Structure formats: C-alpha cells, structure tokens
Amino acid sequence: MKISKTFGKTFALAALLSATAIAGAEAHVTFLNKEATQESTILATLQLPHGCDGKATTEVRIKLPEGFVFAKPQPKAGWELEVIKGDYQKTYDNHGDKVKAGAVEIRWKNGNLSDDFYDNFVIQGKVSGVEAGTSLAFPVTQMCGDTVEAWDQVAKEGGDAHGMKSPAPMLKVVAGEDHGHGHDDMAGMDMSGMSGMGAAAPAGEVVKAGDLEVSGGFAKAMLPGQPVGGGFFTVKNNGQTDDRLLSVTSPAAGEVQIHEMVTKDNVMRMRQLKDGIGIAAGQTLKLEPGNLHLMFQKVKTPFKQGETVPVTLTFEKAGKVDLVLQVLSAQGK
C-alpha cells in the first residue's frame, strides 16, 4: 500500500502531539494512588516528577482539604518539616475523642531535589465524613529558590481537568465494603502527638551503663510499606558529670536519626540533631511523641505490635548501650 507524503507527515505530527500530551500529563504533580476509601486511613503519596524550569526543588507545601484529617507527614532526610495547624470546619471522631483541629498544611523545607530526579512526599491521614464520588483537592506549592510553581487549579463540578496547565492533585473518594471501619487499627506512627494519645512506655528491665540508666524503650507500629518509624526511651543521669547521646544504630533500619520537634505559633517544626542530645548531671532525658524522638529511616520490615526492635545507643562517656524497644500500637499503648 502506498502512503502519500502528506498523510505520512500528518500522521507523524499527530503522533508527536499525542506523545507531547502524554508527557505533559505525566509532568503534573499527582498522587500515586488517586482513590481513597471512605473512613479509611491512607498514605497519600504525592509524586513530584521535576523541578521548576530545570531548577532544583527546595520546598514543597501541601494544603489539606476538609475531610482529610489527623494528618501526619513522613519526614525526609535532608528536609526540615513544618506542620501548620488550624481548626476543622467539622468535628471528627478519633477513637472516641472529639477532634476539632489538626494539621491543615504540610511543608517540607530547605531541601535540594535536583531536576534530574523525582521524589515522593507522603502524608498519613484519614478520609472522614466525605461522600463517595467526591474528589478532594490538595493544592501544592512547589518552590525552587525564587521560582514558584502553583499546582492549584481545580475544575468546576463536572468539568474536565485535563486541559489545565497546573491542576491540583486530586483524591477520589470511593465506597468500600468495610465502610465505617477503614484501616484505623493500622494507623502509622504519631510523630506530632496531635491526637492527644498518651505515650505510656511498657514495663521493662532498666539498662545501666556507667552513671546512666536507660528504661521505658518502645517503638510504634507502622503501616505496611511505610519506610519510616519512631522510637522512644528515657535516660537518667545519676552521675556528677554531663553526658551526651551521640548516635543510634539498629539492624532494623538503614539509618537511625535523632530528631527534635518544637511547636511555636501553631507551627510544628522538626529537625535532625546531628550533634546528639546532652544529658545533664542529675537530670532525666525523655524521648517521647511530639518532642525528642528517634527516627528510623529505610526500615526493612515495618514494625508490628508485639514485636521488638533492637538498637545500640552510643554515649560520649558511657559508651555503647544495647536496648530493646517494645513495639506498641500506633497510638503508643
């Protein structure tokens, strides 16, 4: 069959335009999973495919819609984390507690994600009080130094978002057979203490090293596939000289970092303490949810309730101390 040059050129042009459209669609900031079941706790995984006109991404901000509540972001190595809190429009039930406020915006700051790479930004949260068929919009601001990309366009009801230049990432809420139950029993680590849950450490043997007593070690159960976990314990310095926790390692994780979380002016900030934590003579240091804590990075197998996590603590004066953390529920009970 003979094909005319004109037809061939037209076909090639159409193919090029189609490929360009597909590439453009893939270039948008989107969620890895675009559906969420009613009344379920999910890991909303935002995919960031590129920088801003070739520039590296240095900050990512995500505004959380009403109906996505009890949000807890996953920390990222090399990034500072901020959680902006505010009032919900409605009151939500969190295991019997009536909650009227929580995270309304998440910010990963002071990072450096090259345009040559992509990355994911993860938020655990519950989809609650939302009718099936509803689409929740999560406006995103991507900052590359002085350059800003706003992914915040939302189609009108019934409209088509495919033609938009900067559509906001969307989650479509769908009905599930276990509607009303969801996966709350599998909720991931509580980094911020936003839910007000207690952090009672399990009874365990006190480990002594020099003048230090280490006790109450525990970790929190994690969601399947979640690569980051939290750990906690108490150190009492009975000596006359100060000591310092320098580092922590564990065979259960690729890296263990020491983190500090501080809330000021309704903004929660978390940062890695690369120089460790001091334990003054005669004082007690507590690592607990919403404050100082261990952050297990690149966890090989998500922590399950009832199991244990071995860690090695290295102190400046007391040396190395082996400790076993009991894995409690996601709420630290």
Does residue 75 lie within any of the structural domains?
A: yes
Residue 36 in contact with residue 172, Cβ under 8 Å? yes
What percentage of the chain exceeds 70 in pLDDT? 80
Mean pLDDT of 20-34: 66
Report pLDDT for 27: 75
Mean pLDDT of 85-95: 92
Say whether both 223 and 86 belong to one domain.
Answer: no
More confident residue, 25 or 320: 320
Report pLDDT for 161: 64
Distance between CA atoms of 141 and 62, rounded to whole angstroms?
7
CATH, residue 266: 2.60.40.1890
Distance between CA atoms of 280 and 103, rounded to whole angstroms?
34
Structural domain for 176, as ranges: 29-186
How does residue 181 score in pLDDT terms, banded at 50, 70 and 90?
Answer: very low
Please identify, among 186, 217, 232, the residue that sits at the C-terminal boundary of a domain.
Answer: 186
Cα torsion angle, 209, 299, 190, 268, sign:
positive
Say whether both 173 and 220 belong to one domain.
Answer: no
For residue 22, pLDDT beyond 80: no
Amino acid identity, position 229: G
For residue 277, pLDDT beyond 50: yes
Report pLDDT for 192: 36
Say whether both 177 and 308 belong to one domain.
Answer: no
3-class secondary-structure state, position 258: strand
| Tokens (6 digits) for 278 | 């001091």
Residue 329 in contact with residue 307, Cβ under 8 Å? no
Please identify, among 155, 186, 217, the residue that sits at the C-terminal boundary of a domain.
Answer: 186
For residue 64, pLDDT beyond 90: yes
Amino acid identity, position 286: K
For residue 77, pLDDT beyond 80: no
Mean pLDDT of 149-175: 83
Of 23-32, 183-192, 281-290, give the lowest mean pLDDT range. 183-192
Q: For residue 157, give Cα distances in angstroms to 44, 91, 245.
A: 23, 26, 55
Does residue 23 lie within any of the structural domains?
A: no
Say whether both 55 and 94 belong to one domain.
Answer: yes
Report pLDDT for 51: 92
Number of folded domains that form the chain = 2
Of 324, 320, 284, 291, which Cα lies nearest the Cα of 203?
A: 324
3-class secondary-structure state, position 333: coil
Of 290, 188, 186, which Cα lies nearest the Cα of 229?
A: 188
Phi–psi pair at 300, nearest 5 degrees: -75, -45
Q: Residue 45's beta-bridge partner residues?
A: 122
Q: Residue 92's beta-bridge partner residues?
A: 99
- Cα angle, residue 267 at apex, residues 199 and 31 outer, rounded to 5°: 85
Report pLDDT for 158: 52
More confident residue, 303 or 4: 303
Say whether both 57 and 112 belong to one domain.
Answer: yes
**Residue 192's CB: how many other CB atoms inside 10 A?**
22
| Tokens (6 digits) for 25 | 């669609």
How does residue 177 score in pLDDT terms, banded at 50, 70 and 90?
Answer: low
